[in-house]
Copies of this chain bind each other. A is one copy, B any other.
Amino acid sequence: MTEHFDALETRDPGQRERDLMARLAAQIGHAKSAPYFAESLRHVDAAAVTSRAALAALPLLRKHELIALQKVARPFGGLAATPRTALARVYASPGPIYEPEGRGADPWRLARALFAAGFRAGDLIHNSFSYHMTPAAWMLEAAAKTLGCTVFPAGTGQSEQQVAAMADLLPDGYVGTPSFLRILLEKADTLGIATTSLKKALVSGEAFLPPVREALAARGIKCFQVYATADLGTIAYESAAGEGLIVDEDIIVEIVRPGSGDPVEEGEVGEVVVTTFNSDYPLIRFATGDMSATLPGASPCGRTNMRIKGWLGRADQTTKVRGMFVHPEQIQAVARRHSEIRRARLVVTNPDAGDVMTLRCEGSGGEGVALAVAESLRELTKLRGEVVFVASLPRDGKVIEDARDYGTGTT
């Protein structure tokens, strides 16, 4: 029988949706107490944002914008709703991007993911994320406290001492990157130290490929992924069912077409956009830059929330064509100008050593429409390109496909 962290996980999906939408208006209103959202949502009536459609009409906030916003208004770009003096901690991620942490018990909501990975009260956790500057280790720290686990704050590096501590302390589980876990296990092998106490792991921070998972399983360690970011905390997590990642209960996830804020169709690849209910750092439609897609159906583990497929690439498909930057936003702008286009995809090739752009449009348009679209394309990108109408485009989230041959094909 599957255990669950709480009753929220097994809610009727319709009930969950009603619960989330019922909380949304208040959170939008709360976000507007932060200067950034006071400005970006100044024309938005918070009380009216009670549906996914209303949410989808709000502007996105892209992760890469944080650097510039924070430069102008230290430290949080006007995005924090809690005064700095009332925070528990401040983190610095590469960029630099600073993240505020409030004084709540599990502000990044990792406890649910840790529970789904099999961790329980009394377990000793060997935490190999870094506690210095960046928040990953701290997210797990708060989760461990919430579950009632004991933590050995191992941190990064010092692999020989970490293995020695494992041998002496006999941790039940590991949290950290999967690659560092492999480094520790190989070091243990070299030193002739058994690590058989380790039975489970919650991993994050990098791709977790099936061969790595299998190699760890062969050593008796059941590994589960959590998809979390420094700004948002948990987005989705794996359960023993082994089917995709289950979305966290306290956020709203949208999958949108890269370069736009428009939700894609069910199952289509797009950018992960998250709205949190974090009261200290209320991010509204935060575009992660990661691509994923929903996985249809319900998890056999009994958790009823939306599932996603995990990381399917970076959403920022900006590329350079004949020395000029082309952004997905520009391609979406071309598509929006012409009602004949349902979906567009710019394919860049270099058949004869020179860059060639072809805008493939899903929909139906005659020669006149194609010429008009080509004109829009030139106007918005300052580059000429061919326009072709096709019956259907793949649902892979690609708005710009770089199909150039960078190898021997250009000689």
Binding site for B on A (CB under 8 A): 70, 74-75, 84-92, 96, 98, 121-124, 130-133, 137-138, 145, 150-158, 161, 164-165, 168-170
Contacts and interface: CB of A to CB of B under 8 A. Distances in A.
A interface: dominant SS: mixed
6 contacts: A87-B150, A91-B152, A92-B165, A130-B155, A132-B132, A133-B158
A-B residue pairs, 8 tightest by C-beta:
A132-B155, A85-B122, A131-B131, A87-B150, A90-B152, A89-B151, A92-B165, A75-B169
A123 to B, nearest CB: 8
A334 to B, nearest CB: 39
Contacts of A157: 132
| Most chain B C-beta atoms within 10 Å of own C-beta, residue among A86, A90, A130 | A90
Report copies per complex.
2
A169 B131 contact: no
Contacts of A84: 124, 150
Contacts of A150: 84-90
A89 B335 CA distance: 56
A87 B124 CA distance: 9
A164 B131 contact: no
A131 B153 CA distance: 7
Contacts of A137: 131
Nearest to A90: B152
Contact of A75 (B92, B133, B156, B168): B168
Contact of A145 (B74, B88, B96, B133): B88
A138 B137 CA distance: 13
Contact of A90 (B92, B133, B169): B169
A153 B169 CA distance: 25
Contact of A133 (B91, B124, B155): B155
B132 A158 contact: yes
Contacts of A85: 121-124, 150
B88 A164 contact: no
A19 B96 CA distance: 51
A151 B92 CA distance: 12
Contacts of A92: 152, 161, 165, 168-169
B145 A161 contact: no
Nearest to A171: B90
A150 to B, nearest CB: 5
A132 B155 CA distance: 5
A119 B150 CA distance: 29
B152 A132 contact: no
A133 B161 contact: yes
